[in-house]
């Protein structure tokens, strides 16, 4: 007899096969497994996981908390790196930055142990701390099953207006990664970048900001293949009145 999957969302074939192989046929089954366990399944990817997370959240449900998350412990090495972000020793700070960026390329179970201090770091007096905090927080967007980014995204977006343009640009080049957390996060990122694209036209580095925004949207499109993102990017390009810059912006998307 065919298994009942009527309340599961539409997913790509590899993800559907992964769920079937694990005996997951409905949303209730999903509440019995953790995100970490799902990501171990062959064929299950970040996009499918984000879709499942969004559907569960809409129903007032969630994945089972992983054993690692429920332990409430953080690896001592991670804790040291987080402390070193604020070090006055540039070498230590840089080492911590690269190590944490690498570790957060994939979902981690310690995101909420670092979340508040990273949000606080967005307004730190040291622009290096602001830069690192913004990039790490963007990376943690994929490790946010509770949706805390919906509350803090505007604070992150505000760093793209930082008084130090290099800091603003580092944030701007990373913020698209928040969209890897799920469909609703994608929508939030696109709306935020659309707003920045329109308002930056009179800023000193407006053309460079617009270019970075379009590159970020392209990165998000390639990661999600969401046609709405491409349509929005092309729509934004049409707002550019300078033909030289419009040509440059279109070059970002010419291969797609």
Give per-residue pLDDT as tens, 235-254: 999 998 899 999 999 998 87
Asked whether the beta carbons of 31 and 208 are under 8 A apart, the reply is no
Cβ neighbours, 10 Å, residue 93: 18
Q: What is the mean pLDDT of the chain?
A: 89
Sorted by sequence, the CB contacts under 8 Å of residue 117 that are 6+ apart come out as: 82
Neighbours of 100 (CB within 10 A): 22
| pLDDT above 90 as % of the chain | 59
Percent of residues, the chain, with pLDDT higher than 70: 93
Average pLDDT, stretch 21-31?
Answer: 84
**Domain range list for the chain:** 13-64
CA separation for the pair 139, 156 (Å, rounded): 12
Question: Model confidence at 13, in pLDDT bands (50, 70, 90)?
Answer: confident
When pLDDT is averaged across residues 183-209 and rounded to a whole number, the result is 94
Rounded Cα–Cα distance for residues 209 and 212 (Å): 5
What confidence tier does 69 reach under pLDDT thresholds 50, 70, 90? Answer: very low
Q: Are 49 and 39 in contact (CB under 8 A)?
A: yes
Question: Would you state the pLDDT for residue 73?
Answer: 58
Q: What is the pLDDT of residue 1?
A: 38
3-state SS assignment for residue 8: coil
Which residue from 212, 217, 140 is spatially nearest to 176, judged by alpha carbons? 217
Q: How far is CA 64 from the centre of its chain?
A: 21
Residue 225 has pLDDT above 50, yes or no: yes
CATH architecture of 13-64: Orthogonal Bundle (1.10)
- Cα angle: 238, vertex 241, 245; to 5 degrees: 85
Distance of CA 251 to the CA centre of its chain: 24
Q: How confident is the model over 144-172, as pLDDT tens digits?
A: 988 999 999 999 999 999 999 999 999 99
> pTM here?
0.72
């Amino acid at each position: 007899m065919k298994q009942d999957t009527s309340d599961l969302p539409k997913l790509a074939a590899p993800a559907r096969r992964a769920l079937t192989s694990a005996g997951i046929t409905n949303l209730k089954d999903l509440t019995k497994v953790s995100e970490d366990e799902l990501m171990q399944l062959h064929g299950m990817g970040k996009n499918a996981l984000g879709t499942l997370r969004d559907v569960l959240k809409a129903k007032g449900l969630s994945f089972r908390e992983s054993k690692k998350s429920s332990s409430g412990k953080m690896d001592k090495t991670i804790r040291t790196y987080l402390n070193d972000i604020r070090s006055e020793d540039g070498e230590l700070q840089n080492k911590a930055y690269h190590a944490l960026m690498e570790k957060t390329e994939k979902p981690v179970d310690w995101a909420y142990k670092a979340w508040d201090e990273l949000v606080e770091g967005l307004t730190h007096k040291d622009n290096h701390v602001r830069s690192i905090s913004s990039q790490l927080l963007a990376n943690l967007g994929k490790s946010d099953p509770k949706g805390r980014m919906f509350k803090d995204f505007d604070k992150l977006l505000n760093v793209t207006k930082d008084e130090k343009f290099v800091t603003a640009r580092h944030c701007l080049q990373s913020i698209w990664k928040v969209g890897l957390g799920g469909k609703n996060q994608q929508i939030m990122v696109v709306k935020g970048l659309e707003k920045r694209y329109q308002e930056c036209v009179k800023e000193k580095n407006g053309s460079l900001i617009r270019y970075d925004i379009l590159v970020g949207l392209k990165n998000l499109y390639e990661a999600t293949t969401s046609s709405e993102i491409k349509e929005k990017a092309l729509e934004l390009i049409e707002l550019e009145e300078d033909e030289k810059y419009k040509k440059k912006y279109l070059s970002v998307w010419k291969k797609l």
